[in-house]
């Protein structure tokens, strides 16, 4: 993957395909491979751009607390580096959805449509942002971290499917255990979401907005997506039945179809 550097920060990114740009933003502790089940679907339709957020993957991992504006500026500098002049379709999941809100509010003229997946206008889960010794130790064993991730992201039926499908199991595991996010990386990222609160600014978002969430999401319960929908004027909410936070993998084909049907309504 190519990289670019600005202000001593190296950003690892991927840019493929042709057509209007679709920018995909990953969540807390996740690298760009979070989108492995979406990228192939969109490559023949759009220019797909994604990146390892600072603190993950092959991007820089400076050891200090991050802010939302740091993530926003990483994306803006990447777009400038790639000489992207046309408006982007901006899609973020979980923390990536929080970053997408802040980016749209700061650079409204850059964003054509906004897609917010499994996210929230306000961080309320203290356990995600406050380091405890036991949680820090969970990063020491990549296999254990992977099993924890499975339990948090996916429903019981899908976890059973994963265990029976060796290829799927290995693919999902590789995302977690290869070049893993450390405890310091995680909590440096988590510092950015600790004070996340856009609720009073959401009415400024005028872009067509798609909000997607699973009705069994325990990390970002669907009431948060409903709050986004209530406060973003030109928004559409879809709650997918029977799936949780990891729905972009669990029902990837359905998610891809919903995303594409929304985006193509706004293509020139």
**Looking at the domain assignment, is residue 150 inside a domain?**
no
Is 181 within the bounds of a domain? Answer: no
- 157-163 contact pairs (CB < 8 A, 24+): 158/243, 158/246, 158/250
DSSP letters spanning 174-185: HHHHSSPPPHHH
Whether residue 168 is contained in a domain is answered as no
Kindly state whether residue 76 falls inside one of the protein's structural domains.
Answer: yes
Task: Tell me the C-alpha distance between 53 and 32, whole Å.
Answer: 8
pLDDT recorded at residue 145: 82
Task: Enter the tokens of residue 154.
Answer: 């996916």
pLDDT of residue 72: 98
Kindly give, in sequence order, each residue whose CB lies less than 8 Å from that of residue 25, ignoring residues fewer than 6 positions away.
50, 51, 53, 75, 90, 91, 92, 93, 96, 97, 99, 100
Pair 159, 150: CB distance under 8 Å: yes
The answer to whether residues 238 and 210 touch, using CB atoms and an 8 Å cutoff, is yes
Q: Can you give the pLDDT at residue 139?
A: 79
Closest listed residue to residue 186, CA positions, set 2, 99, 56: 56
Q: Give the distance from CA 232 to its chain's centroid.
A: 19
Q: Which domain holds residue 245?
A: 3-129+189-264
Asked whether residue 161 is domain-assigned, the answer is no
CA proximity to 49, closest of 8, 19, 73, 29: 19
Complete DSSP assignment for 74-97: HHHHHHHHTT--S-EEEEEETHHH
- As beta bridge partners, residue 50 has 14, 24
Give the pLDDT score at 131.
Answer: 54
228: phi then psi, degrees, rounded to nearest 5: -60, -45
pLDDT at 130: 56
The predicted model scores a pTM of: 0.96
Q: What is the CATH number of the domain that holds 125?
A: 3.40.50.1820
Please tell me the predicted confidence (pLDDT) of residue 268: 85
Residue 91 lies in a domain: yes
> In the chain, how many domains are there?
1
Classify residue 138: in a domain, yes or no. Answer: no
- Report the pLDDT value the prediction gives residue 124, as an integer from 0 to 100: 72
Encode the chain (268 residues) as per-residue pLDDT tens digits.
799 999 999 999 999 999 999 999 999 999 999 999 999 999 999 999 999 999 999 999 999 999 999 999 999 999 999 999 999 999 999 999 999 999 999 999 999 999 999 999 998 755 555 556 666 777 778 788 888 889 999 999 999 999 999 999 999 999 988 889 998 999 999 999 988 999 999 999 999 999 999 999 999 999 999 999 999 999 999 999 999 999 999 999 999 999 999 999 999 8
Question: Which pLDDT value is given to residue 84?
Answer: 97
């Amino acid at each position: 993957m190519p990289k670019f550097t600005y202000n001593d920060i190296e950003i690892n990114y991927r840019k493929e395909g042709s057509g209007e740009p679709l920018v995909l933003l990953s969540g807390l502790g996740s690298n760009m491979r979070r989108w492995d089940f979406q990228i192939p679907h969109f490559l023949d339709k759009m220019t797909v751009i994604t990146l390892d957020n600072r603190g993950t993957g092959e991007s820089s991992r400076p050891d200090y607390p991050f802010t939302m504006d740091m993530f926003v500026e990483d994306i803006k500098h990447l777009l400038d580096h790639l000489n992207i002049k046309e408006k982007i379709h901006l899609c973020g999941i979980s923390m990536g959805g929080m970053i997408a809100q802040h980016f749209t509010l700061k650079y409204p003229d850059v964003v054509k449509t906004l897609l917010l997946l499994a996210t929230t206008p306000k961080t309320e889960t203290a356990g995600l942002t406050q380091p405890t010794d036991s949680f820090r130790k969970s990063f020491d064993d990549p296999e254990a971290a992977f099993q924890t991730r499975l339990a948090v992201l996916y429903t019981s039926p899908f976890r059973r499917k994963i265990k029976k499908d060796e290829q799927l199991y290995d693919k999902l595991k590789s995302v977690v255990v290869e070049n893993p996010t450390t405890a310091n990386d995680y909590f440096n990222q988590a510092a950015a979401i600790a004070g996340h609160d856009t609720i009073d600014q959401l009415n400024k978002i005028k872009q067509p907005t798609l909000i997607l969430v699973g009705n069994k999401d325990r990390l970002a319960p669907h009431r948060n997506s409903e709050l986004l929908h209530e406060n973003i004027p030109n928004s559409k909410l879809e709650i997918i039945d029977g799936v949780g936070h990891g729905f972009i993998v669990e029902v990837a084909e359905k998610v891809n179809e919903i995303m594409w049907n929304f985006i193509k309504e706004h293509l020139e």
